[in-house]
Amino acid sequence: MLPDVAGALTGILAVLSVAVTTLVIDRTMYLGASTTFVRAAGYVEQVVIPENVQANEYLQQNRPRVDWQMMVVGGIFIGALISARLGRSAKLETVPPIWKERFGTSATLRGVGAFIGGMILMFGARLADGCPSGHGLSGNMQLAASGLLALVFFMVGGIITAHLLYKK
């Protein structure tokens, strides 16, 4: 499927989801993903340092619980799995080609990079109060000033870093 067709279908899905949640549960839900990672962090902390979950203001605002958005994120896994199976497009990948060309075949080095990158991007997403789903898609669909500004700076940061990192 062409990316623009898949994107248009996602646009219709986002609008339908907004309409259906408003009608059925009387709450208007816009797509997002990064708050789920805060709740996930809360779940982990509940096992390791439970007293910190109680003491931390941000974890209290975003308590570890299964909510609508967490189900969306879980659903993405299931939907992608079904699509990859049906289209036979699943691919076991430990080191992606662009990374391999620049940093070699070490899966450990790739793992360290992915971990550090994930840590920085999530800190940034929470500071900006959203990621490419919440700001990029939902924010811009609503013509939010914050959505456009966030998306522009996501791209500026990404383009500069990628050129420094992967360009020879």
Partner 1 sequence: MDLFLGLATGILFGFFLQKGEVLRFEKQVGFMLLKDMTIIKFMMTAVLVGMVGIYALHGIGMISLSIKSANIGALVIGGLLFGIGWAIAGFCPGTSVGALAEGRIHVLWAIAGMVVGAAIFAEAYPLLQRTVLTWGAYGKVTLPQMLGVSPWLVIAVFIIVGLSAFRLFEKKGL
Query: Which token pair is 17?
Result: 């989801």
Residue ranges in 106-135 that form contacts with partner 1 under rule CB under 8 A:
107, 110-135
63 binds partner 1 (CB under 8 A): no
Question: Could you tell me how many residues make up the chain?
Answer: 168
47 binds partner 1 (CB under 8 A): no
Q: Which amino acid does the sequence have at 157?
A: G
Residue 54 CB, shortest distance to partner 1, in Å, is: 12
50 binds partner 1 (CB under 8 A): no
Residue 41 CB, shortest distance to partner 1, in Å, is: 4
Residues 2-41, one symbol each (x = binds partner 1 by CB under 8 A, - = not), give xxxxxxxxxxxxxx-xxxxxx-xx-xxxxxxxx-xxx-xx
Residues 68-107, one symbol each (x = binds partner 1 by CB under 8 A, - = not), give xxxxxxxxxxxxxxxxx--x-xxxxxxxxxxx-------x
* Four-point Cα dihedral 131, 137, 141, 144, nearest 10: 20
User: Closest by alpha carbon to 72, among 10, 147, 129, 123?
Assistant: 10
Residue 52 CB, shortest distance to partner 1, in Å, is: 8
Residues 138-167, one symbol each (x = binds partner 1 by CB under 8 A, - = not), give xxxxxxxxxxxxxxxxxxxxxxxxxx-xxx
DSSP string, 2-43: -HHHHHHHHHHHHHHHHHHHHHHHSS------HHHHHHHHHH
Q: Which amino acid does the sequence have at 145?
A: A
Residue 51 CB, shortest distance to partner 1, in Å, is: 14
